[in-house]
Structure 1
Amino acid sequence: MMRRSHRKSRNGCLECKKRHTSRCLGKQLTLQCDETRPSCINCATVQRNCQFSTPRPAAEWPPSDRSASPQIPSAGPSTGPASTPAPPSAAFPGLQLFTSVKEPHSRVNMVHMELLHHSITDTALYPVPDSGMKSIILTTALREPYVMHSTLALSAHHLSVIRPNQQAYYYNLAMQLQTHALSLFNSIDVALLGDSVEKRVPVFIFSCVLGFHALCDTLSHRDPDFDSALSRFVAYIGLHRGLLTVMNGYWDELRKTELQVIFDDMVPAWFQVKSEGRECDGLRERLASAGLDAEELEATQHTLDVVQWVFDSRPGPEGRAYVLCSWAPMLRSPFVRMLEAGRPEALAVLAYYFLVMHHCREVWMIGGAGQHFLTLLANHFRGGDWYAWPPGTQLPPHQHIERIVQDPIPMARDFVVTRPQEPDAPRIAEIHLAAMDANPLLHAQFPAPESLKALEQFLEAYTVQQLRDSGSGVLVARDVDTGVVVGFAKWDSPTHPENVKLESGDMRYLEGCQRAFLDGYASLAEEAKRRCFPDQACYRLSFVCTDPAYQGLGAGSLLTRKVLEMAAVDGLPVYLESTEVAVPMYEKLGFKVIDGFEMKITRPGSTDSEDIYKESCMAWHPLSKQGGS
């Protein structure tokens, strides 16, 4: 009879070899050593002292000694149904040290190279400002296999979102990679880290990447009932917070490592939050009279401060989503316990968290998740003790939610930003006049219907001319469902400067225009620009216009953020002149008023009455230029 082939445990521990656990003794079959270090499963199960006599395999050598690539689970075809992704409880098991998950392995293949390339080149993957963090993540991933697996997993999850026809394949691949990343991380003996701060840097990076991915997975599910959704979200919070426990007592020292750029530019304000907006005032008053003990009240108010801070847009457009993704580690233990217990005070704060998340729905990992959770929370609050709020306070969570859900044009309507084509020029000109109709300067410059019609034709032709220059600054926002252009943005940059301001060009010769108001405005605007940016290169945002039927839904903010992203890549500030009405919107995006000007114009409908027209000069700087503000 042929003997069955058997792989001997060449690198097994001394205890397993002594017990001959790789052989069949009589009728008793015992298990071979699984070679997991620092303690194999056999020894860990019966609490034996596990010791190895052989050197560690190459995959477990310190980073400086490794020459081989880390082993990554095979990216084979998906075997599960496309509509039934693995639940987060399977994808993100609890962290239990010394527990190994044995899975089939393969060498790195071209799919993994694709994932690595995507994580390097895609600017939307990580919801972080350009602070050097992405470079630190990738550098750390090349040293630590568990960071690399987690980085590739997040890349695969992103591809599952942006390539819907391959959603199941990339989603399952992401789960395989992340599960293996956790198994590698679980095998680390935290005691071996000692007092080394450098050894905690990869753990911090891993916690950031895994936290992003865990939140992505949580938000991608659409649990139909509130209890299931809350349980899933609380499990995510526990995982994300648990990863950072090994950082306790080392935060100050981490600032002295390569993470300094992150802590100096991004973190300080997050852990010393000073909110300024008023959106959460009603909830603050309610919490103050809710009978919470001092510890619970302090922790709940602190959590609400973080939410209000995102309402205030203080991190700037790049950092808002990062604060939302970093919310869980910033929570304090009393608030987490209240959330786990389903306390209404904590759930009310959670409603505001998902409300502000809804306003960041253009971020790929968020999408429509904010509105889904808001709807579940609205149904949960309706009819309960927290339904009746004291008169005079601001809207409670369920009314904020219902306003969103019942809006005739849903706030969750998605827009996509693209470069327009020449056939879009008439629509852009139409939006320009419709959006500027409330501006008294427009009617002073073009007081008659005939002159406005001439202006519309001019703007159409002018836009066609711009679009024929492939490098000109023009973007439009389209309704994803209908394809209708709902807004546009125009700007110039150092590579494509606007030689002549629009009001100083051929527009002055249009029939019926009041040239004095065009010339006067152009002169004041150019003088202000020279005062604000006399020598420094910058982007100049000329127009951000949204169809009035779509205003307030985020199209204008989305367009502006796209321009800010391009300016940030170039490391340049953005300058604009804004009407007084639009100043608050730009301030929420990180702009600051730095100058202004005013002029006398004819009052609309009058020939002899005058009004004072004012505009504010505003500037936005990349995060690294703002000192973290």
Structure 2
Amino acid sequence: MSRRAHRKSKTGCMRCKSRHIKCDEHRPKCINCTTAGFECKFLHSAQLSINEEAIISQKYKLALAIDDSISSSEVPIQDSSSEINILDLKLFYNFISKISVVIWSGLDFNQNYDKVLLGIALKHQHLMSELLAFSALHMSEHEIEKRHYYRSIATAYQNRALSGLKECLEHLDESNCIAVLLLSNLIGLHSFRTVFASLSDSVPFSDFLTKITHLINLQRGVRAVVSPYWSWFLSSAIGPAMRNNHEFRMRCSSMESSDTEILKQFILSKNLGSETNEIYLKELENLQVNFNQVKLLQDKNPKPIQGLFAWLVTISREFLQSLEAEQAEALLILSFYGVVLHHYQECWLIRDAGRILVNFVIERLGLDYSPCLQWAEEQTNSDTTESIENNKIHTILRERQQLSLSPSVMI
């Protein structure tokens, strides 16, 4: 029997579209939004071009993602109308003296980027709020006795920044698009640290993937919304920094290296099909760029982390779906990203995240995938005094061997 054709609604509300559910199209509020108590918005009745409709839809999805990112804060921040805010001054000084030098150290555009960032932050309160939030997060890592206090401050300031970002998206133009782009970069670094800081053996891996997926979609959303201004960015004050960063990434891309070759050959041996192979091999190719970046910056101390999270933000939706489904090959690729992160362990934004990420994958895949995982495990434990006989992968091997020798086990 032939399947009955289904005509996709083109006039449903934005929330129903973003959730991929059927909308009854009742105006001014559809039943779904009315029942859930959500704000209900429809596209303008006038006909829009495909690009215009896509941008409007992306803005709405991004607004929803921003709403989901706003967290509760237990510590109120001082009103911005105060003449002198000592906390703000302390956070601002901490940023310019201790943070920016770590993020962009060793890159040619370091000083120019700092000047542009600080100059624009002084004109846009939402960008300044995130700058202060990021600084508070940094101080929470270094002033242990006040960790809870500074993390609450970081949350409060980031909430203000996210609210400001949402307002900017409603009136995005050349006067604020650079601030939005810089803000998204800082929010990305801040959010990735928050997620990776939560990594521990007691945190469910699915929770980690859910948080990472949300942050990836938030970053993608911002970039999609500001994409019409990309050529304008290149001719603006941040143009030199963008070109410098692009040239550096291209240099990394052109290097001949084989850090991911063992995993590439393993995936090809699994007979997953040409389409699946293409998805995985493309991600490995992009991940190799990060390995090459590590090599080029190995003499820098500290290593600049700019571009470190580029692989996560640019992974394909198909690969992201494989990660969410915890497909073995996708997890293996993620473990190799953990090796990249481990090279930056001296940075407060990374710490032990790489090693924990690799161990997560080892615990899920075990012995069958040890040929690839052993290299990742050795890389992330190479600087420890723990002997190789006691590492996690060898513990798994011993347990499996004992199990197979037990007379009470039926195969």
CA distance in 2, matches of 1:143, 1:292: 52
Q: Hey, what does 2:25 align to over in structure 1?
A: none
CA distance in 2, matches of 1:368, 1:357: 8
Task: Give the strand-richer structure, 1 or 2.
Answer: 1
Residue correspondence of structure 1 range 451-530 to structure 2 within 5 A: none
| 334 and 134 in structure 1: CA distance in 2 versus 1, 3 angstrom threshold | farther
Give yes or no for contact 1:160–1:166 (8 Å, CA) kept in 2: yes
Q: Hey, what does 2:137 align to over in structure 1?
A: 157
CA distance in 2, matches of 1:260, 1:379: 44
TM-score, normalised to structure 1's length? 0.45
Q: Does 1:328 align with 2:307?
A: no
3-state SS of 2:349 partner: coil
Q: Does 1:106 align with 2:79?
A: yes
| 134 and 144 in structure 1: CA distance in 2 versus 1, 3 angstrom threshold | same
User: Which of the numbers 258, 261, 267 marks the counterpart of 2:237?
Assistant: 258
Q: Does 1:94 align with 2:65?
A: yes
Cα deviation 1:544-596 (Å, max 9, x = unaligned): xxxxxxxxxxxxxxxxxxxxxxxxxxxxxxxxxxxxxxxxxxxxxxxxxxxxx
User: Which of the numbers 369, 372, 377 marks the counterpart of 2:356?
Assistant: 372
Give yes or no for contact 2:168–2:180 (8 Å, CA) kept in 1: no
CA distance in 1, matches of 2:134, 2:261: 36
User: Which has the higher mean CA deviation after the structures are superposed, 309-318 or 238-247?
Assistant: 309-318
Amino acid aligned to 2:163: S
Task: Give the helix-richer structure, 1 or 2.
Answer: 2
CA distance in 2, matches of 1:376, 1:168: 27
Q: Hey, what does 1:168 align to over in structure 2?
A: 148
Amino acid aligned to 2:244: D
Give yes or no for contact 1:348–1:397 (8 Å, CA) kept in 2: yes
| 325 and 47 in structure 1: CA distance in 2 versus 1, 3 angstrom threshold | closer
3-state SS of 1:323 partner: coil
Residue correspondence of structure 1 range 45-64 to structure 2 within 5 A: 45=39
Q: Give the C-alpha shift of residue 290 in structure 1.
A: 4.2
User: Which of the numbers 175, 181, 198 marks the counterpart of 1:221?
Assistant: 198
Q: Give the C-alpha shift of residue 152 in structure 1.
A: 0.4
CA distance in 2, matches of 1:146, 1:329: 22
| 249 and 319 in structure 1: CA distance in 2 versus 1, 3 angstrom threshold | farther
Q: Which has the higher relative contact order, 1 or 2, with Cα contacts under 8 A spaced 6 or more apart?
A: 2
Q: Give the C-alpha shift of residue 401 in structure 1.
A: 1.5
Structure (1 or 2) with the larger CA radius of gyration: 1
Q: Hey, what does 2:264 align to over in structure 1?
A: 284
3-state SS of 2:199 partner: coil
Q: Give the C-alpha shift of residue 337 in structure 1.
A: 2.7
Give yes or no for contact 1:226–1:380 (8 Å, CA) kept in 2: no
Q: Does 1:147 align with 2:123?
A: no
Q: Does 1:119 align with 2:95?
A: yes
User: Which of the numbers 183, 186, 198 marks the counterpart of 1:209?
Assistant: 186
Q: How many residues align?
A: 315
Q: Does 1:180 align with 2:153?
A: no
Q: Hey, what does 2:223 align to over in structure 1?
A: 244
Q: Hey, what does 2:333 align to over in structure 1?
A: 349
CA distance in 2, matches of 1:114, 1:175: 17
| 255 and 406 in structure 1: CA distance in 2 versus 1, 3 angstrom threshold | closer
| 254 and 100 in structure 1: CA distance in 2 versus 1, 3 angstrom threshold | same
| 158 and 123 in structure 1: CA distance in 2 versus 1, 3 angstrom threshold | closer
Residue correspondence of structure 1 range 570-585 to structure 2 within 5 A: none
| 101 and 234 in structure 1: CA distance in 2 versus 1, 3 angstrom threshold | closer
Q: Hey, what does 1:359 align to over in structure 2?
A: 343
Cα deviation 1:107-135 (Å, max 9, x = unaligned): 35210111111112225665223512222
Q: Give the C-alpha shift of residue 319 in structure 1.
A: 5.8
TM-score, normalised to structure 2's length? 0.67
Q: Hey, what does 1:401 align to over in structure 2?
A: 377
**What is the root-mean-square deviation in Å for CA atoms of aligned residues?**
3.5
CA distance in 2, matches of 1:352, 1:198: 41
Query: Identity over the aligned pairs, expressed in percent?
Result: 21
Structure 1 stretches of 5 or more lacking a match? 1-43, 50-91, 389-394, 412-629
CA distance in 1, matches of 2:71, 2:374: 45
CA distance in 1, matches of 2:229, 2:274: 28
